[in-house]
């Protein structure tokens, strides 16, 4: 099968391309030409502007994709460009979406009023009612955050019968190349020999969907090559969602950290989000209907992630509701830990 990947050079993209090639498919990657990605020999490169796909329509027709996988459709305009360019050319599209489409996520970040939503979230759980969840962070109309929203993207790609669209809603993805460095804050504390990690009690119990980068890439590849996914939406997440405290313990087991996780009453640690709102997702549908199972064992996935984090220390580390060491030491001294 000929598969075109739009934006396949960063983080999830290279493992996805390698997976597709390993499965025996012919792959082309459309990108800006600004990232040197480790892609398999034989993969075609088409360099162009994602915001004007029609400029490269001749190249797309020459390659003749049967399926188009769009990793970087962030706005309604992106989705419209995808549909208008590949309708009548490709048989199907696969578009990467996010857990942030759910109303529970809006409750979590504070853009949606109302009671705590039940979880785990299924593909039928309510979506956000307030669009553009990060617009308050935008510097102006030209800012990425001003127009970003996966809900309009999903609506566009799932409403075009001539190019049936599959939507995969991704979790928080960790692994080598993670631009958000989701494990860094914890690994750094453990490697620094901290006697304890302090979490607000709400943060300690909070659950979110997670996935290792190669596993997540495998779900996208599966959605691309299996026609049973046409016109459908799938959650992607590990089968068990761990609380933040349990997640820290898993990291500690691999690091070899012998410290404690200390939880504090609300108010001692500043929180930017509504931590009483879990956002964990149920991924039963893609497992049942497409036969998905993680190709990388959980322990190995954690080891690879931590090894990469240590080999590539970030210049700045942000943790979810973590104190700086001085404030943490003061709090620990109050309760006799140090």
pLDDT tens digits along 18-70: 999 999 999 999 999 888 888 999 999 999 999 999 999 999 999 999 999 99
**Euclidean distance between CA atoms 308 and 302, whole angstroms:** 10
* SS3 (DSSP) at 193: coil
Q: Average the pLDDT over each of 29-33, 117-121, 217-221, 270-274 and give the range with the smallest value.
A: 270-274
% of the chain beyond a pLDDT of 90: 88
Is a pLDDT exceeding 90 seen at residue 270?
Answer: no
- Please, where are the H alpha helices in 100-173? 103-109, 144-147, 150-157
**Euclidean distance between CA atoms 106 and 108, whole angstroms:** 5
Q: Give pLDDT tens digits for 128-146.
A: 999 999 999 999 999 999 9
**Euclidean distance between CA atoms 198 and 324, whole angstroms:** 10
Residue count (the chain): 338
- Assign 315 a pLDDT band (cuts: 50, 70, 90): confident
- Determine the pLDDT at residue 265: 83
**Euclidean distance between CA atoms 255 and 303, whole angstroms:** 8
> Could you tell me how far CA 42 lies from the centroid of its own chain?
27
- Assign 268 a pLDDT band (cuts: 50, 70, 90): confident
Give me the chain's average pLDDT, please. 95
- Determine the pLDDT at residue 322: 79
- Determine the pLDDT at residue 338: 66
**What is the domain range of residue 116?**
2-334
Q: Give pLDDT tens digits for 281-314.
A: 999 999 999 999 999 999 999 999 999 999 998 8
Number of domains in the chain: 1
If you compute the radius of gyration of the chain from its CA atoms, what whole number of angstroms results?
21
Give me the mean pLDDT over the 10-22 stretch. Answer: 98
Residue with the two structure tokens 């990467």: 96
Q: How far is CA 315 from CA 85, 248, 324, in A?
A: 40, 22, 15
Residue 259: both structure tokens together: 């410290």
Which helix (H) or strand (E) segment is 30 a member of?
A: strand 26-31
pTM for the full model?
Answer: 0.96
Can you give the CATH number for the domain in which 55 is found? 3.40.50.720
Is a pLDDT exceeding 90 seen at residue 271?
Answer: no
């Amino acid at each position: 099968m000929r598969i075109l990947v739009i934006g396949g050079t960063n983080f999830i993209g290279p493992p996805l391309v390698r997976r597709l090639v390993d499965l025996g498919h012919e792959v082309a990657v459309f990108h800006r030409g600004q990232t040197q990605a480790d892609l398999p020999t034989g993969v075609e490169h088409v360099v162009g502007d994602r915001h004007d796909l029609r400029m490269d329509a001749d190249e797309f027709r020459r390659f003749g994709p049967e399926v188009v996988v769009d990793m970087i459709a962030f706005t309604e305009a992106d989705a419209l460009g995808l549909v208008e360019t590949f309708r009548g050319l490709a048989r199907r599209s696969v578009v990467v979406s996010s857990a942030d489409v759910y109303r529970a996520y809006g409750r979590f970040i504070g853009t949606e009023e109302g009671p705590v939503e039940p979880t785990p979230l299924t593909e039928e759980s309510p979506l956000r009612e307030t669009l553009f969840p990060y617009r308050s962070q935008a510097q102006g109309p030209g800012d990425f955050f001003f127009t970003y929203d996966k809900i309009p993207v999903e609506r566009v790609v799932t409403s075009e019968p001539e190019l049936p669209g599959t939507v995969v809603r991704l979790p928080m993805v960790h692994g080598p190349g993670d631009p958000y460095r989701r494990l860094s804050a914890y690994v750094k504390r453990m490697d620094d020999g901290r006697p304890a990690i302090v979490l607000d009690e709400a943060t300690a119990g909070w659950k979110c969907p997670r996935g290792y980068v190669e596993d997540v890439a495998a779900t996208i590849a599966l959605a691309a090559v299996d026609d049973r996914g046409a016109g459908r939406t799938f959650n992607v997440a590990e089968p068990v969602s761990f609380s933040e405290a349990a997640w820290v313990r898993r990291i500690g087991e691999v690091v070899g950290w012998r410290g404690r996780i200390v939880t504090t009453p609300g108010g001692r640690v500043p929180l930017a989000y509504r931590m009483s709102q879990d956002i964990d997702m149920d991924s039963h549908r893609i497992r049942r209907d497409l036969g998905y199972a993680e190709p990388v064992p959980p322990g190995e996935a954690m080891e690879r992630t931590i090894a990469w984090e240590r080999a590539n220390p970030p210049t700045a580390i942000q943790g979810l509701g973590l104190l700086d060491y001085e404030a943490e030491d003061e709090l620990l001294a109050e309760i006799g830990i140090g």
